[in-house]
Chains A and B, each alone.
Chain A
């Protein structure tokens, strides 16, 4: 490979034009063409000791799949990825590659790192578009049953891995559609729902059984699952209890949790009201509180729903925002205004109870806190009033209480999440494993998949040896 090729610029991602995309919910990033993918793939120097793999939570053989793209073997490239990552169409889109594989890429030292995520997406999309997606092979039946609670990224990974190992797997989902956060949380313009259903179909082809409308802890308890003959249970229920600010007036009308706002839009399709029955209220001026990906998703959804002015309210500076840079850039391109170093300290409404004003205070950055980011400190006397019609609170999640209240045998950590061994997902209850946001608190799709992968191995060990 010539040196010239590596020095070529990183291929940009083709995107829907801003003025078009703010009026629809279609995917913003359009994906590489074959030419673009090959040009980008040719930049890879095929390191003998690839660091990118170390940056991947599920150890995808990155140089290998990139080589297959260079050779024009796109379907083979997709299958290479799927050896370690069952949801490449999704992770290629939503993984924070800039902090993981791409952050390790040696080309990043002098040039721009290889666009690994975009190549992953290209290969996976190519396979889905151009050939019958290969159903992963399943080993001989082991005649042992695994129950998976929750059909988000952690649950789907455990289901796929356990099915591949020959276990009978049944996935229980509380909502009426599978996918968890992939279905209700991440918007269509970032992750088309068609992809989620396709990945779920692949699982079903592998023999995984899926039942929606079942809330473990209510409809069926953990104990009853064991009585029904399940040999191991994986809990991947997600965090699932929105945090609010705890300030005056936050139950006023027009104040949503990001969960509610996004679920109404993504899962219930409120943007198609009245064709779909679920409504949503969107005022002229929308303020989204928070600086993560969920805040960006909410703000960009508000733009598409026709809000005239959409603001992000964040208490630190742009540098500390936990959202992916790409998402912040997309939001800003779409007209979202970033109001930084400000914090809401109260809400006021009109006589009918609708939110109309936010009382804010200016912040400055102090010493770093536990997260390593500089702590925001209120500036005394800097309070001001901010007009608003709709507020979305996107400041994270606590642990959902349903299953944990019903199952006191499962120990919680000091934050209320499940206390599970990081390497195995083992909980304090025999035969019960856990992973994803219900263990770590709100994190990423790929982190949940990584936890699922480890738990599946531990489940296999446990079911083979019977040792806990």
Chain B
């Protein structure tokens, strides 16, 4: 069992967990993820590691409540345990000093882009960060991102905080202002990563995205996470999760993410009914 040392609700349907998983931080590098399983009957879900503490043997993850598993997780409290944590998985992000790096986080994707932002800053890059949320209530990691960026732009869909608009709008402004960009890292909903990649292809700026395809074992064994990159089939778990955004077939990714839509709804509905009965 893996103990939740601290659970904190940090936004609507968004929780932060510090979990005791002594072996995971040992070889962890930014960009890697873990697979979590809440209980005996639970499913295995991949979640990117936001922070790992080698000394304390803990990892920090941000989990948005979207389906039964993430709601089940959200119902747990500090001191509770989950049955399984395994990692770190996937290839680490390639962090070098290259000049100006634009890191873009969409919603809970900000929690994934955060450790990379920190790593790129530490490597001596000029880091411009753009993070976008639905509204003010959903804003996360503002201070952490500010501390690790040379410039930070916060976007909200409704303009209730920061600038009104999407991350793409800010990227467009930077481009129009003739700002130098050597690398873009975009992590968020598939549709955001698709839009950003389309724009940067035009700008001719290399873009890395982190793909959130459906995984089970996440060790290359099942192939459920397969994505198409540069016309070739890749496994997001062992070949990724980060890929060249200009090469990714996002339409296929978006379709494949809907594979279990029906069952996900059924599971969540029955979970909610049980909750009501309690």
**A residues near B, CB below 8 A?**
174-176, 184, 212-215, 218-221, 224, 240-242, 244, 250-251, 253-254, 256-257, 259-260, 263-264, 268-269, 273-279, 281, 352-353, 400-402
Q: Report the separation of the CA atoms of residues A251 and B234 in the bound assembly, to the nearest whole angstrom.
A: 10
The 6 closest A-B pairs by CB, nearest first: A279-B263, A353-B255, A260-B222, A213-B86, A277-B43, A257-B223
Q: How far is the CA of A277 from the CA of B255 in the complex (A)?
A: 21
The answer to the question of B194 belonging to the interface, with a C-beta cut-off of 8 Å to chain A, is: no
Does chain A have a CB within 8 A of B59? no
Instruction: Specify which chain B residues have a CB less than 8 angstroms from the CB of A276 in the assembled complex.
Output: 41, 43
Q: Do B264 and A402 touch across chains, with their CB atoms under 8 A apart?
A: no
Residues of B within 8 A of A175 (CB): 217
Q: Which of A212, A219, A264 has the most CB of B within 10 A?
A: A219
Pairwise interchain contact B222-A268, C-beta atoms closer than 8 A: no
**If A264-B216, A277-B267, A352-B258 touch, does A176 touch B84 (CB 8 Å cutoff)?**
yes
Binary interface profile of B, 238-262, with partner A (CB < 8 Å = 1, else 0)? 1000000000000010011011100
With A240-B219, A240-B220, A400-B219 as contacts: A218 and B263 at CB distance below 8 Å: no
Among candidates B87, B220, B223, residue contacting A244 with C-beta atoms closer than 8 Å: B223
- Whether A251 contacts B256 by the Cβ 8 Å rule is yes
Which of B84, B86, B252, B266 lies in contact with A251, CB distance below 8 A? B252
Q: Which residues of B contact A (CB under 8 A)?
A: 23-24, 26-27, 37, 41-44, 68-69, 83-89, 216-217, 219-224, 226-228, 233, 235, 238, 252, 255-256, 258-260, 263-264, 266-267, 270
Cα separation A263 to B217 with both chains bound (whole Å): 9
* Nearest-Cβ distance from residue B48 to partner chain A, whole angstroms: 15
Which residue of chain A is the closest to B37 with respect to CB atoms? A176
The complex places the Cα of A212 from the Cα of B227 at a distance, in Å, of 28
Q: Which residues of B contact A176 (CB under 8 A)?
A: 37, 44, 83-84, 86
Which one of B68, B233, B238, B252 contacts A402 once the chains associate, using CB atoms below 8 Å? Answer: B238
Check A218 against B87 for contact (C-beta < 8 Å). yes
Nearest chain-B residue to A177 (Cβ)?
Answer: B84
- CA of A375 to CA of B255 in the docked complex: distance in angstroms? 37
Complex contacts, B68 vs chain A, CB 8 Å: 277
Is the pair B85, A260 in contact by a Cβ cutoff of 8 Å?
Answer: no
| Shortest Cβ distance from A212 into B: residue | B84
Could you give 20 example pairs across A and B, Cβ below 8 Å?
Answer: A184-B221, A212-B84, A218-B88, A219-B26, A219-B88, A220-B26, A240-B220, A242-B223, A251-B226, A257-B222, A260-B216, A260-B223, A268-B43, A268-B44, A268-B216, A269-B41, A273-B263, A277-B68, A353-B256, A402-B219
A401 touches B86 (CB 8 A): no
Closest residue on chain A to residue B249 by CB atoms: A251
Whether the Cβ atoms of A174 and B217 lie closer than 8 Å is yes
CA distance A176 to B89 in the complex (A): 15
Query: Which chain A residue has the least Cβ–Cβ distance from B254?
Result: A353
Task: Knowing A253-B255, A253-B256, A269-B41, say if A242 contacts B87 (CB, 8 Å).
Answer: no
Select from chain B the residue with minimum beta-carbon distance to A185. Answer: B221
Q: What's the least CB distance linking A163 to chain B, in Å?
A: 23
B227 and chain A: residue at smallest CB distance: A251
Taken together as a complex, chains A and B put the C-alpha atoms of A353 and B24 apart, in Å, by 36
Q: Which of A242, A264, A274, A278 contacts B266 (CB 8 A)?
A: A274
Whether B263 and A259, one on each chain, are in contact in the complex, defined by CB atoms closer than 8 angstroms, is no
Q: Of B85, B228, B263, B266, which contacts A213 at CB under 8 A? A: B85
CB < 8 Å: which of B227, B233, B270 contacts A274? B270
A352–B255 contact, CB under 8 A?
Answer: yes
A215-B86, A219-B26, A401-B238 given; A263·B221 CB < 8 A: yes
